[in-house]
Amino acid sequence: MDRRIFFLACLIGLSLVSPVQAKRELAAGALPQTVLEAFFSDLSTAVENPANAELGLNATYNLVDGYWIRTTREQVQQTGQVADLNSVIFFKFNRPSSWVITSLRSAGEFARAEVRFQPSASAGVVRNKEHDTIDTTFNLVLKNDDWFIVDFKGPEVKPSEALPDALTVDPSDTPATLVSRFMDIVLQELGPASGSPGSNVNKVAAATKNMWVDERDSRRSLGQGLTMMSMLQPTSWHLVELDQQRSTAELTITIESGSPVAALVPGANKDGGPTTIRFLAKTTNGQWLLQAFIR
């Protein structure tokens, strides 16, 4: 997973703590391959268990944390990765049906394994189709005569495409047309077909920046809103209410989401129903622009 997943993880309230070594159902001194196979099996079972559907990221990780020396704040600052939690995100979004350790090398107290997974899902949604295998890397260290996982790396991220030119706005735009144009782009670029959360956030931000007031608070609100949308992966939206005054406006919409991690997003409907979002807009030099995104 790349820095975008780390950024999303931070926004949904993940806490980073000191290394933890919980109990695990393994014989003392189990080999690295045995540790990995047990971790994959237990994590897959935890993710697929319907009783765990409402568990958050940390709660799911806690079911398998005995296989890890947990990622520390210092490691995150150095690498930009939350490796242990990223492994849980990987399983939630790809739902691997099988895996094979293609390479395992060890030297003293360090081991590195290359693992190929066969996913059964895309963006957390199981689809009856052929999925490309995914190559990953896990690092382990020997501590107190037992092997623990300390790092996980997913597939290399492809170089980003060139960002699109910003769409134009003109005096004919109203608060309603701005929200409509904005949400249509969100559905197109951040919906279920967009892939992993965060994939197209920068693309949407670049395309829609002219729709927003050029102020620091508005830019921050846009960034937070797009991050939330990328996690929800909305499938549709509906305008519920429009309160438009002479120079300000407030619009309320609902969005539908089938994302498997929607329950992890602050402000999202935890019961699976529509999530309500408000937009604020105002006129600047006679031009309507979006000002804030409120959960």
Tokens of 283: 């006129």
| CATH, residue 148 | 3.10.450.50
In this structure, of 47-56, 77-86, 171-180, the range with the lowest mean pLDDT score is 77-86
The range of the structural domain enclosing residue 145 comes to: 3-153
**Does 191 share its domain with 276?**
yes
**Does 82 share its domain with 202?**
no
169 found inside a domain: no
Q: How far is CA 158 from the centre of its chain?
A: 17
User: 């019961």: which residue's tokens?
Assistant: 271
Q: How far apart are CA 219 and CA 205, in angstroms?
A: 9
**Does 128 share its domain with 213?**
no
**Does 63 share its domain with 195?**
no
What is residue 20's predicted lDDT score, i.e. its pLDDT? 37
**Does 140 share its domain with 180?**
no
166 found inside a domain: no
Higher pLDDT, 28 or 74: 28
Q: How far apart are CA 241 and CA 127, in angstroms?
A: 35
Contact call for residues 154 and 165 (beta carbons, < 8 A): no
**Does 214 share its domain with 252?**
yes
162 found inside a domain: no
Number of domains in the chain: 2
158 found inside a domain: no
Query: What is the torsion angle, in degrees rounded to the nearest 10, for the CA atoms of residue 176, residue 180, residue 181 and residue 187?
Result: 160
Backbone angles phi, psi at 263, to 5 degrees: -65, -15
Q: Which amino acid is at 183?
A: M
Contact call for residues 236 and 186 (beta carbons, < 8 A): no
**Does 142 share its domain with 245?**
no
What is residue 142's predicted lDDT score, i.e. its pLDDT? 95
Angle at 88 between CA 82 and CA 92, to 5 degrees: 135
**Does 139 share its domain with 209?**
no
DSSP structure class, residue 221: H
Per-residue pLDDT band for 201 (boundaries 50, 70, 90) equals confident
206 found inside a domain: yes
Going edge to edge, which strands form the sheet with 287-294? Answer: 234-244, 248-257, 275-284, 287-294
In this structure, of 57-71, 185-199, 201-215, 255-269, the range with the lowest mean pLDDT score is 255-269
Q: How far apart are CA 34 and CA 247, in angstroms?
A: 65
Residue 66: enclosing H or E segment and its boundaries? none
102 found inside a domain: yes
pLDDT in tens, 133-154: 999 999 999 999 999 999 998 8
**Does 110 share its domain with 201?**
no
pLDDT for residue 213 is more than 70:
yes
User: 0.95 cut: is pTM over it?
Assistant: no
252 found inside a domain: yes
**Does 133 share its domain with 218?**
no
288 found inside a domain: yes
What is residue 18's predicted lDDT score, i.e. its pLDDT? 34
**Does 131 share its domain with 263?**
no
Q: How far apart are CA 139 and CA 148, in angstroms?
A: 9
**Does 146 share its domain with 221?**
no
pLDDT for residue 263 is more than 90:
no
Residue 242: enclosing H or E segment and its boundaries? strand 234-244
What is residue 9's predicted lDDT score, i.e. its pLDDT? 44
What is residue 278's predicted lDDT score, i.e. its pLDDT? 95
205: exposed, middle or buried (Cβ count in 10 Å: 0-12, 13-18, 19+): middle
